[in-house]
C-alpha cells in the first residue's frame, strides 16, 4: 500500500528525536535519601508523603530482584547511574502557549495538540519527570470531572487522593512498585463523579527526553458509582545508547456500577526497561478493561490486574505484544476473584520477530466459598522467524465446585504456503507477512478504540518491514 508507506516513513522517525536538556530541577545521578528529600523539597510535599517515600525507599533497597522467575536481564539495570528527577517546572501549564517552546514542539511533532482538538476530552503531556501541559475541556470539567497531574492531585484533592493512594498496589507489592513509591513524579489523577459518563477519552502522553533517566509516573483513577471513563496513554522516547528506565504505578478504582477502560499503546525505543505495575479494584457490577499494546522497549514486564471485589464485577485484559530483535515482552494478566459471580476474560496475542522473545504470565485466583465465578484465558503466539521465541506461564488456582475456568494457548507460525499464496496475488513478501500479522491480531484490535487500532496497525506494519528474506 503505497500511500501508507509514505506515512510510515514519517512514523518511523516520529519518536526518535530529542532536544537539548534544559532542566532547572535535577536530583542528580543515583538514589538515596537525599534524592527523595530533593524531590519532596522541590515539590513542596507534606510530611506524610515524605515518610511514605522514605519507607518505600527502604523496601526497594531490601527487596531482591525477582530473578528467581524473571529474566536475568534485570540485573543489567544500574540504579546508581540513573537520574531520578528532571524537570523544568513542577506545575503543568493549562495552555499550550505557556509550555516552553522545545517541549511544545516535541508534542506537536508527536501530534498531541492535533489529537486533542480532534477527539479527546482532555490531555496531559508529561516531559521527563513532570507534566508540562494538562488541560480538560470545559464541557467535561463542568460535570465535576477532575483530570490533573498527580502532583497537583495530591496538593489540591488530598481527601480523595489519600483514601486510595497506595491501596490498590501496596508499596511492597514488588521491587519496582517500591521504587516508584519512593521517587514517583508525574502521572495523572482522575476523579469521575457518580453517574458522569465521559464520552470522549482522556489522554496522557509520556515522553522521555533525557538520557540515563528514570521516569516514575503515578496514576490514580477513581470512577465513582455508575460513572464511565476511557483513559489512553502513549509513550515514546528517542533512541539512546544507554539504558533508560520507566517504572510506573497505575491504580484504578471502579466504584459500584462504574466502567473504566484503560488503553496503552507503548512504543518505547529499544533501550528502555519498562517495568510497570498496573492494578484495579472493581466493586459490585463494575467493569474494568485494560487494553495493552506493547511494542518496542528492551524489556517490558507488565501484568495488568483486576481485583474483583464486588459481586458481578468484571475484569478484562486484552493485550498485544510484539517483540523484535533484542526485545523481550514479558507481559500478562492477573485476575483475583474475591466475590461471587465475578467474571474475567484475558486475551493475549504475541508476535515474536527475529530474535525477539515474548512471554505470557498469568494468574487466575478463585478462592473457596465463591460461587459462579468464571474466567476465560486465551493466549496465542505467532512466531515469525526460526530464532524467535515464545513462552507461556499461566498459574490457575480454583477452589470450590461452582466456578469455571478455562485456559487455552496456541503457538503458530505464518506458513511458507500462506506467504506464497499471497505473493501469487501480487503482494510483496513483507506486505504478505504484515497482512497476516495484522490478521492474527485483527479480532482483538476490532475491540479497540478506532484511533488506536489504526495506529497499532501502522506500528505493526513498521515492525514487520525487514523481518523476512
Partner 1 sequence: MEAEAGVDESFRYAFQNHMDSLNTAPKWWREFKTNAFESYANMPMPRRNDENWRFANRNNLSLGKFKFDGDSVSANVSSLVEKSRFTRAQAGGYVIADNKIVQANRAPKELTDQGVIWSPLSEAILEHSDLLRDYFMKQGIDLGSEKFAHLHSAFVTNGVLLYVPKGIEIEAPFCSYNWSTSENGTLFPHTLVIAEANAKASVIEAHLSEGEQSVFSCGVTHLFAGVGSELNYTLIQNLNENTLGFQINSNIAGKDSTVNMNSVILGCGHYRSETHGQIKGSGAHVDMRSMALADAEQEIDQRTLQTHSATHTTSNLLFKNALKEKSKTIFSGLIKVDEVAQQTDAYQTNRNLLLSNTAEANSLPGLEIEANNVKCSHGATTSEIQEEEIFYMLARGIPKDAAEELIVYGFFEEILENIEDEKLSYCTRQLIRKKFGS
Partner 2 sequence: MSASLEIKNLNVSIGDKQIIKDFSLTIPKSEVHAIMGPNGTGKSTLAKALAGHPDYEITSGDALIDGESIIEMEVDERSRAGLFLAFQYPMEIPGVSIANFIRAARNARLPEGEDLDAPAYYKELYEKMDTLKIDRKFTSRSINEGFSGGEKKRCEILQLAMLNPKYAILDETDSGLDIDALKIVSEGVNALRGPELGALVITHYQRLLDYIVPDKVHVMYDGRIVKSGDKSLALELESKGYDWIKEIAENAA
- Cα distance between residue 448 and residue 459, in whole Å: 15
**Contacting partner 2 (CB under 8 A), which of 372, 418, 449, 465?**
418
What radius of gyration, in Å, describes the C-alpha atoms of the chain?
21
Under the criterion CB under 8 A, does residue 422 sit at the interface with partner 2? yes
Q: Which of partner 2, partner 1, none lies near 84, with the C-beta cut-off 5 to 8 A by kind?
A: none
- Could you tell me the three cell numbers for 311? 459481586
With the C-alpha atoms ordered 359, 418, 466, 456, is the resulting torsion angle positive or negative? negative
Rounded to 5 degrees, φ, ψ at 239 are -85, 105
At its nearest, how many Å lie between partner 2 and the CB of residue 446?
Answer: 10
Q: By CB under 8 A, how many residues form the interface with partner 1?
A: 36
Choose the stretch contacting partner 1; rule: CB under 8 A; options: 26-34, 221-229, 235-243, 410-418.
410-418
Measured between alpha carbons, how far is 133 from 452 in angstroms, rounded to an integer?
22
Q: Restricting to residues 66-85, which ones interact with partner 1 according to CB under 8 A?
A: 68-69
- Using the minimum distance from each CB to partner 1, give the nearer residue, 65 or 450: 65
Task: Kindly state the DSSP code that residue 216 receives in the 8-state scheme.
Answer: -
Phi-psi region of 69 (alpha: psi -120 to 50; beta: other; left: phi over 0): alpha
Binding status of residue 378 toward partner 2 by CB under 8 A: no
Name the binder of 394 from partner 1, partner 2, none, CB < 5-8 A by kind.
partner 1
Q: Minimum Å distance from CB 355 to partner 2?
A: 23
Among 8, 411, 430, 468, binds partner 1 (CB under 8 A): 411
Neighbours of 161 (CB within 10 A): 18
Distance, in Å, from the CA atom of 105 to the CA atom of 95, rounded to the nearest integer, reads: 14
Binding mask 2-21 vs partner 2 (x if CB under 8 A, - otherwise)?
xx--x---------------
Q: Which of the choices partner 1, partner 2, none does residue 242 contact, using the CB cut-off of 5 to 8 A by kind? A: none
Query: Could you say which of partner 2, partner 1, none residue 397 binds, taking C-beta under 5 to 8 angstroms by partner kind?
Result: partner 1
Q: x/- site string to partner 2, residues 21 to 50, per CB under 8 A?
A: ------------------------------
Q: Give the DSSP letter string of 422-447.
A: HHHTT--HHHHHHHHHHHHHHHHHTT
The residues near 242 (Cβ < 8 Å, ≥ 6 apart) are: 81, 211, 212, 271
Tell whether residue 431 is a contact of partner 2 (CB under 8 A).
yes
CA dist., res. 243 & res. 201, Å (int) = 32
Helix axes 450-464, 2-12, angle to 10 degrees: 90
Residues 343-402 that bind partner 1 (CB under 8 A): 368-369, 381, 383-402
Report the residue number, 160 or 430, with the smaller CB distance to partner 2.
Answer: 430
Closest C-alpha among 374, 368, 311, 360 to residue 331: 360
What gap in Å lies between CA 197 and CA 24, rounded to an integer?
39
Binding mask 439-458 for partner 2 (x = CB under 8 A): xxxxx---------------
Residues 270-329 that bind partner 1 (CB under 8 A): none
DSSP 8-class letter at 283: -
Say which entry of partner 2, partner 1, none residue 3 contacts (CB below 5 to 8 A, set by partner kind).
partner 2
Size of the site for partner 2 (CB under 8 A): 28
H-run or E-run covering 52: helix 47-62
Beta bridge partners of 250: 219, 278
Question: Of 308 and 432, which has the nearer Cβ to partner 2?
Answer: 432
Only one of the segments 175-183, 299-307, 340-348, 433-441 lies at the binding site for partner 2 (rule: CB under 8 A); that segment is: 433-441
Sequence-ordered list of residues with C-beta below 8 angstroms from that of 150, at least 6 positions apart, any chain: 184, 185, 186, 187, 188, 189, 217, 218, 219, 220
Subset of 338-377 contacting partner 2 (CB under 8 A): none
Minimum distance of partner 1 from residue 166's CB (angstroms): 25
412 interacts with partner 1 by CB under 8 A: yes
Q: Is 438 in the site for partner 2 (CB under 8 A)?
A: yes
Give the integer Cα–Cα distance in Å for 90 and 92: 7
Grid coordinates 500479522 are at which residue? Answer: 437
Residue nearer to partner 2 on the CB measure, 353 or 435: 435
What residues line the site for partner 2 (CB under 8 A)? 1-3, 6, 415-418, 420-429, 431-432, 435-436, 438-443
What residues line the site for partner 1 (CB under 8 A)? 68-69, 368-369, 381, 383-413
Amino acid at each position: 500500500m503505497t500511500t501508507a508507506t509514505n506515512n510510515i516513513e514519517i512514523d518511523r522517525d516520529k519518536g526518535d528525536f530529542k532536544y537539548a536538556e534544559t532542566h532547572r530541577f535535577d536530583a542528580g545521578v543515583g538514589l538515596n535519601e537525599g534524592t527523595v528529600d530533593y524531590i519532596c523539597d522541590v515539590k513542596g510535599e507534606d510530611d506524610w508523603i515524605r515518610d511514605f517515600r522514605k519507607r518505600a525507599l527502604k523496601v526497594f533497597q531490601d527487596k531482591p530482584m525477582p530473578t528467581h522467575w524473571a529474566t536475568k536481564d534485570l540485573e543489567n539495570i544500574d540504579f546508581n547511574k540513573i537520574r531520578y528527577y528532571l524537570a523544568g517546572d513542577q506545575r503543568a501549564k493549562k495552555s499550550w502557549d505557556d509550555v516552553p517552546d522545545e517541549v511544545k514542539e516535541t508534542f506537536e511533532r508527536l501530534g498531541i495538540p492535533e489529537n486533542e482538538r480532534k477527539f479527546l476530552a482532555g490531555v496531559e503531556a508529561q516531559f521527563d519527570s513532570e507534566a508540562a501541559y494538562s488541560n480538560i475541556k470545559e464541557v467535561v470539567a463542568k460535570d465535576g470531572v477532575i483530570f490533573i497531574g498527580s502532583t497537583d492531585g495530591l496538593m489540591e484533592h488530598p481527601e480523595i487522593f489519600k483514601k486510595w493512594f497506595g491501596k490498590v498496589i501496596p508499596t511492597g507489592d514488588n521491587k519496582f512498585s517500591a521504587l516508584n513509591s519512593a521517587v514517583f513524579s508525574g502521572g495523572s489523577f482522575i476523579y469521575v463523579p457518580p453517574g458522569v459518563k465521559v464520552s470522549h477519552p482522556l489522554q496522557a502522553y509520556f515522553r522521555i527526553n533525557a538520557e540515563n533517566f528514570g521516569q516514575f509516573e503515578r496514576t490514580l483513577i477513581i470512577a465513582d458509582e455508575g460513572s464511565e471513563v476511557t483513559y489512553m496513554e502513549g509513550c515514546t522516547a528517542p533512541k539512546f545508547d544507554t539504558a533508560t528506565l520507566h517504572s510506573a504505578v497505575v491504580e484504578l478504582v471502579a466504584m459500584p456500577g462504574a466502567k473504566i477502560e484503560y488503553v496503552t499503546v507503548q512504543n518505547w525505543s529499544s533501550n528502555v526497561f519498562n517495568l510497570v505495575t498496573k492494578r484495579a479494584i472493581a466493586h459490585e457490577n463494575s467493569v474494568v478493561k485494560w487494553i495493552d499494546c506493547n511494542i518496542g522497549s528492551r524489556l517490558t514486564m507488565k501484568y495488568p490486574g483486576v481485583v474483583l471485589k464486588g459481586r458481578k464485577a468484571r475484569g478484562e485484559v486484552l493485550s498485544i505484544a510484539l517483540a523484535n530483535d533484542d526485545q523481550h515482552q514479558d507481559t500478562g494478566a492477573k485476575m483475583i476473584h474475591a466475590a461471587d459471580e465475578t467474571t474475567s476474560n484475558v486475551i493475549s496475542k504475541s508476535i515474536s520477530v527475529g530474535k525477539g522473545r515474548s512471554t505470557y504470565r498469568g494468574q487466575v485466583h478463585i478462592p473457596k466459598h465463591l460461587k459462579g465465578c468464571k474466567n476465560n484465558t486465551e493466549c496465542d503466539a505467532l512466531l515469525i522467524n526460526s530464532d524467535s521465541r515464545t513462552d507461556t506461564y499461566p498459574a490457575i488456582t480454583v477452589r470450590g465446585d461452582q466456578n469455571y475456568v478455562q485456559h487455552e494457548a496456541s503457538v503458530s507460525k505464518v506458513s511458507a504456503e500462506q506467504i506464497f499464496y499471497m505473493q501469487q496475488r501480487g503482494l510483496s513478501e513483507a506486505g504478505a507477512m504484515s497482512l497476516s500479522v495484522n490478521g492474527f491480531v485483527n479480532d482483538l484490535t476490532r475491540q479497540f478504540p478506532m484511533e488506536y487500532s489504526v495506529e497499532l496497525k501502522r506500528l505493526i506494519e513498521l515492525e514487520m518491514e525487514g523481518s523476512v528474506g
